Each structure stands twice: as C-alpha cells, then as structure tokens.
Structure 1
Amino acid sequence: MKKVLSINSGSSSLKISLFAMPLEKRLAKIMVDYSAEAKQLVTIKLPQKSLVAEHYTEKATPVELALKLLKKYQVIAADQEIAAVGHRIVAGGELFHQSTEITPGMLRKLESINELAPLHNPANVAGIRDAQQLLPNCPQIAVFDTAFHTDLPPENFLYALPMEYYRKYKVRKYGAHGTSHRFVAQQAATMLHRPLNELKLITLHLGSGASMTAIKNGKSCDTSMGFSPLTGLMMSTRSGDVDPSILVYLLKHHAFANMDECMRILNQRSGLLGVSEASSDMREIEREAEIDPQAALAVKMFVKRICDYIGSYWLELGGADALVFTGGIGENDSHLRELVSQRLQCLGVEFQSAQNQRRDLPFDFATAASRARLLVIPTDEELMIARDAYKLITAKQLI
C-alpha cells in the first residue's frame, strides 16, 4: 500500500485528499479556504468521523497546513510516508497531452502558458512549488484538465480565424474540467454495466464553473469550454459564450477602462451574478426566482444554454446512451435537473420526478422507456488525480 496525496489548487481554496493506493481508500479530505487575508478556514474529514473545522492565523502555506493536520490527526506519522503527490493543472495547452512527472524543465514550460488559465494555472503552479519544498524527495505528478480533450477533431477544436493564429499562437479550443468528465464517464460505464469504449455520453459538470462534454467510445469529441475556461455555458460569475463584437463596442463606449477590466467583468461579474444582480449561488437565485423576475431569468438562461449544448452534442454523437449530471449544482439541484429534463422529452428522454429527488448518489432517474439514461454521479477529481499519479509512478518505478 502506498499513500498518494492529491492536490487541487484554486485561486482562493485548495482541496487535498490522501489515498491508500491501489485500494483507492480515502484516508483524509482537507479543504483550505484562504480567501480571507487574516485567517484561513481549514476543514478535515476523516473516515467515520465528523467534519472538523479550524481557523489558522499563522502564516503557513495551504499544503503546509494540510501536512500539519495529517500528522495532528495521526493519519501519517511523518512526511516520508507520502509516496507521491498528484497536482490538478487546469491548462496544459498543446504542450501536455497526458499526466506527467514534474521536472524543473516541465515546470518552466507550464509557467509559459499561464495565460491560458490566468485564474487557475498560477495557483496550480504555486501549489506545486509549495509541495516540492515541503516534500523534496517525493515524486510530483501533474494531471491536466485539458489532457482529456486532446483528441478533439480539428473541426471541433479550431476557430474560424486565420489559420496563422493557430500555427503561430496555438489559438484553439482546449476545454477544461477534463479530470471530472473523465472520472464520471468511467463511473457511468460501471453503472450501466457496459464498456466505456462502447458508450455515447454527454457529461454535465455544473458548478461554479460549468462545462459539458460529448464523449464517444471513451474519448472527448467536443466540449463547451474553449481557449480558456471562460467560454461555453454561463456560469456563476463567468459569461460563457459572448459575441466578441460586444466587447469592442463596450470598449469604444468606455463601459470599462481597458481589456484587463473587461476580462475581470467577464470572469467575476457576469453569468448568474450578472443577470440576476442578486447572487452567484444557484441555491439563492432559485429561492429568489419565485418573487424576482431577474433571478427567474437567470435560471431560464442557464437551463437554455445547457439544453442548447445537449442538442448539439446529441447530433454530434448520433444520440446518447446517458446524460451524466455532476458538480455542485448537477449533483445537488434536483429542480435544475428537472427543468433540463423537461426540455429533453422531444428527444425521447423521460424522467421520474420522485426518483430525481433521491439523495443517495449515484442514481439513475430516467424511466425504463427513456432513450437515454439520466445519471447523477458525484465527481471525485482528487481520486482521478491519485489514480493517474499512482499509475505513472508505478510504471516508472519511482516507488
């Protein structure tokens, strides 16, 4: 048995899980919220124990805090027990097509493409450097969200721009959330008792960030996020698809001062928050929707854009064996799932409203006669990271 640490670094939080591999037993799950400057909220969940929350005011990095907690609660006795560390990286561009060991040269290449995910990659790199310093003799593995989408056909990843921009600047669709889409696709195959390489799936990762992927025979053939994680579906604070002429128009009319402010608005003030003008949290928006027309409009727009992509991917795949809901909204919001499912009846997709209310994930809420199964599957990006890290270091005999 080897202990593998999975690190999922974000711009204001960090998720860490420690697994016993290859048993895939989660020994601890830690969340570090360092959005507040004065203190860090750290929660740790251990098997068969209640969630523990602690506040730290000391100046320590999130990974350092996590290691202290693992020792404090006797999950590990020493850092040396950790055999490998896997890191989630949002954007690998065209440089990285699969999970890989992190070396100094690889890290320099990774930093050269920070622009592809400016809200995420710098935080991912910071997490890597932190772990390298704290665990200097431990193999570090990068697991890329974009890697799952590297097999997209050119007609699906290219933009209708001069080809020079692709050749010179590598402007293309890269997608994101690939670690999550890949995980739930594998879980869907298990639930359906069919090989993944025989399935046609539409996976819906619906959370603060939201994306959808068309998966055929185990491979991503199209995905909603594009050159960056900004485009595609509308999200909590991100705009999703927008006519670029709008941005030029608004810039000319001084709606924002410069392109940096424009990107801040598109990333942080748009989406559900921008339309509802009330909240970026779908739970709050749905509560307000009963009395607030703007909140109701935000929900309708979100549902419509999801269904637009489902229709596109249904044609891309030639039908679907299953739709898979995951992410914070996809897993927990039965009302949203029902609104989406109602619009799919023209495709022969039928759902059971009572079954859709279940809390014991995973489950299928389609009727027996439905042309596609409706699966709700909790994602586990940290487990996917641990699987890749363990597989790679075992193949390379790094442990």
Structure 2
Amino acid sequence: MKKILSVNSGSSSIKISLFEMPAEKCLAKVLIDYSNQQKCKATLTLADQEEVFIDHFSGKLHPIALTLQLLIKYRLLKSSQEISGVGHRIVAGGEVFTKSTEITSAMMEQLQDLTELAPLHNPANIAGIREASKLLPNCRQVAVFDTSFHTSLPPENYLYALPLEYYRKYKVRKYGAHGTSHRYVAQQAAKMLQRPVADLKLITLHLGSGASAAAIKNGCSLDTSMGFSPVSGLMMSTRSGDIDPSALAFLLDHGAFQNIDECLEVLNHHSGILGVSEISRDMREVQRQLSTNQQAALAVKMFVKRICDYIGAYWLELGGADAIIFTGGIGENDCLIRDMICRRLECLGISFRPCYNQTHQLPFDFSNTDSSAHLLAIPTNEELMIARDTFALVAKSAVEE
C-alpha cells in the first residue's frame, strides 16, 4: 500500500486528499479557503465522517504545510516520509502535455511558459508544486492536466476559423478544461451502465462555479465547450461563456473597459449568473429569489438554455447518446436545474422520473425506462483521478528503477 497526496489548487482555495493506493481509500480530505489572507479557514474531514477540524490561521503558512501538520496531528501519517507521491491538478497543459507527467525542473519551465493559457489557475497550481517539492524533496511529484483529456479532439473541433497561421505561430485553438472531471464521470457511468466505456456515447455536463460540456465517444473526448481559455462555452457563476468578440470591441471603444485586462476581468469575475442576476454568483441564492425577482429568473433561464444548446449540438455530433451525465456542485445537487434541462430535451425522446430526480443518494439514474438516453447524476472526484494517475506513474518509476 502507498499513500498518495492529491492536490487541487485554485486561485482562492485548495483541496487536498490523502489516499491509500491501490485500494483507492480516501483517508482524509482537507479544504482550505485562503481568499482572506488574514483569516484563512481550514477544514479536515476524516473518511466517512463529518468535519472534525475547523480552524483559522494566517495565510503566511502555505496550505500544503498546514495539511501535513494536520495529517500528522490526527495520526493519519506518522511522518511526511510515508507519502510516496504527490499529484497536482494543472488546468492548462496546452499541446505540450497530452498526458499526466512526472514533474522535472525542465518541465517546470515549460509550465511557466503556459501560464497565459490559464492565468487565474496555473500560477496557483505551479505554486503548489513548488511548495510540495520543498516540503517533500524526496517525493515524486506528478502533474495531471485538465486539458490532456481533450487532446483527442479532431482538428475540425479544436481549430478556430481564423487564418491558420495564427494556430501555426501562436497555437491559438480550443484546449478545453475540466478534463479530469469529464474523464472520471465517464468511467463511472460505464460502471453504472455495466458496459465498457469504449462502447459508449456520452454527453457530460460539469456544472459548478465553472461549467463545461463534453461529447465523449469510445472513451475519448470528441468535443467540449470551453475553448482557448476556461471563460468560453457555457454561462458560469461569474464567467460569461460564449460572446461575440465584436460586442467586446464595441464596449471597449465606448469606454466600458479601459483596456483588454479590464475586459478580461469583467468576463471572468463579473459576468455569468452574477452579472445577469445582479444578486449573487451562487445559484442557490439566485434560486431563492426566482418567484420575486425577474433578473433571477432570467439568469436561470439563460443558464439552462445555453446548456441545452450544447446538448443539442453534441447529440447531433455523436448521433445520439447512451447517457447524459450531470456532475459538479450544481449538476449533482440542483434538482431544479436538472428538471428544467431535461424537460427541454423531450423532443429528443428523453424522459425522466421527477420523483427520482429529487433524490440525493448519489449516484443515481433518473431516466424513464423508455427514455432515449440514461440521465445520470454522478459525483465527480477529481482528487481520486489525480491519485490514480500519480500512483500509476510512481509504480512505473519504481519498476523501472
């Protein structure tokens, strides 16, 4: 048995899980919110238990250092030397990294060069790698890329209709994101349906603060909604999703933004559910005001409509689907959004059982027996996918040595 640390670093929070592999047993989860540097919040949850530790600490202590302290304090580790490998989620790997890779100094330089593909995420991911390498110098570090699952997209799906020289020279193309999540739930759907993932056509919907859709055929990503960056595609909590670039040029010319950096700030942090509702970025809060606030209702309708647009496109691209999968915070827990989406899909022969849709015993299938596709709500587990890839590379390196 080997212990693997799975690190999912975000711009304002970090999720770290300790796994016993290959049993895939999660020993503990740590969630650290450091959006407030003066009073960061740490939560430790043991396997199959409620939260057992909540504390506030100064942001001067790196979350990975704090996590190791907590794991040792609560006797989940005797010492940090027990850890065999650390896997890090990296949002953007560009065309350079097409699979999970063991981290080297040369690779770190390449990662730094790719920062502009995900300026909100990659710097935090890289900082996590540097800290883990410092704290665990003898431990193998592995990078697991969100974009790698989408490297199977054919050129007609990943290229933009721009002069081709922009792709040749600058590598401007669709890269996608959330690949770790889409890959995981596709594998879980195959288990639920008792069929090989290589035989399935799936539409996966990762609906959370960030949101994306993917068309998966024979276990490989065929198309996905996010593009060159994670701001495009579906409407999200604060990200705009697809928008006519001419509208942005118009707003820039009329002084709505002072420069392109301010424009990107609005697209990433002030748009989406928050921008339309003018209430909150949190879908739960927006839904509380559905009956009394027209903008809340409009935001929800737009969110649902754009998801259905992509489902329709992917249904045609795949030639139908064996299942539509809902995952992410909204996808897993919001029965109203699932209900609104599925009612719009009746023209595809899709039908569902409303009473089953209300259940919270994940995972579950809430489709009718005569539905043209299964409707699955599956909790994602990006940390487990990171641990799986990390363990595989650590085991491979051990054999080669």
| TM-score interval for Structure 1 and Structure 2 normalised by the shorter chain | over 0.9
1:222 is aligned to 2:223: yes
**Matches of 2:372 and 2:48, distance apart in 1:** 39
1:69 is aligned to 2:65: no
Alpha carbons 2:237, 2:273 under 8 Å: kept: yes
Deviation per CA, 1:284-334: give whole Å up to 9, x if none.
111111110000000000000000000000001000000000000000000
Helix, strand or coil for the counterpart of 1:88?
Answer: strand
**Matches of 1:86 and 1:378, distance apart in 2:** 20
Q: Which residue of 1 aligns with 2:318?
A: 317
**Matches of 1:67 and 1:49, distance apart in 2:** 19
1:363 is aligned to 2:364: yes
Query: Structure 1-normalised TM-score?
Result: 0.99
Q: Which residue of 1 aligns with 2:235?
A: 234
Helix, strand or coil for the counterpart of 1:77?
Answer: coil
Q: Which residue of 1 aligns with 2:306?
A: 305
Helix, strand or coil for the counterpart of 2:147?
Answer: helix
Alignment of 1:1-399 (within 5 A): 1-51=1-51, 52-57=53-58, 59-397=60-398
Alpha carbons 2:94, 2:175 under 8 Å: kept: yes
Q: Cα distance, 1:53 vs. partner?
A: 1.2
Helix, strand or coil for the counterpart of 1:288?
Answer: coil
Query: Structure 2-normalised TM-score?
Result: 0.99
**Matches of 2:60 and 2:185, distance apart in 1:** 37
The gaps in structure 1 that reach 5 residues or longer are none
Helix, strand or coil for the counterpart of 2:398?
Answer: coil
**Matches of 1:47 and 1:125, distance apart in 2:** 28
**Matches of 1:261 and 1:58, distance apart in 2:** 27
Corresponding letter in the other structure for 1:43: T
**Matches of 2:37 and 2:80, distance apart in 1:** 27
**Matches of 2:112 and 2:40, distance apart in 1:** 26
**Matches of 1:382 and 1:216, distance apart in 2:** 24
Deviation per CA, 1:87-113: give whole Å up to 9, x if none.
000000010000000000001001101
Deviation per CA, 1:231-284: give whole Å up to 9, x if none.
000100000000000111111101111111000000000000000011110001
**Matches of 1:58 and 1:291, distance apart in 2:** 40
Structure 2 vs 1, CA of residues 58 and 309 (structure 1 numbering), >3 Å: closer, same or farther?
closer
Helix, strand or coil for the counterpart of 2:388?
Answer: helix
**Matches of 2:83 and 2:382, distance apart in 1:** 19
Corresponding letter in the other structure for 2:376: L
Alignment root-mean-square deviation, CA: 0.9
**Matches of 1:230 and 1:107, distance apart in 2:** 25
**Matches of 1:281 and 1:50, distance apart in 2:** 23
Percent identity between the two aligned chains: 65
Corresponding letter in the other structure for 2:142: I
Helix, strand or coil for the counterpart of 1:43?
Answer: strand
**Matches of 1:392 and 1:38, distance apart in 2:** 38
**Matches of 1:75 and 1:54, distance apart in 2:** 18
Corresponding letter in the other structure for 2:303: F
Q: Cα distance, 1:70 vs. partner?
A: 0.4
Between 312-321 and 55-64, report the one with greater CA deviation. Answer: 55-64
Alpha carbons 2:325, 2:376 under 8 Å: kept: yes
Corresponding letter in the other structure for 2:36: A
Q: Cα distance, 1:40 vs. partner?
A: 1.1
Corresponding letter in the other structure for 1:49: Q
Between 52-61 and 90-99, report the one with greater CA deviation. Answer: 52-61
Helix, strand or coil for the counterpart of 1:208?
Answer: coil
Deviation per CA, 1:127-168: give whole Å up to 9, x if none.
000100000000000000000000100000000000000000
Helix, strand or coil for the counterpart of 1:241?
Answer: coil
Q: Cα distance, 1:58 vs. partner?
A: 6.4
**Matches of 2:119 and 2:47, distance apart in 1:** 35
Q: Cα distance, 1:392 vs. partner?
A: 1.1
**Matches of 1:56 and 1:68, distance apart in 2:** 13
**Matches of 1:76 and 1:104, distance apart in 2:** 28
**Matches of 1:66 and 1:11, distance apart in 2:** 17
Helix, strand or coil for the counterpart of 1:59?
Answer: coil
The gaps in structure 2 that reach 5 residues or longer are none
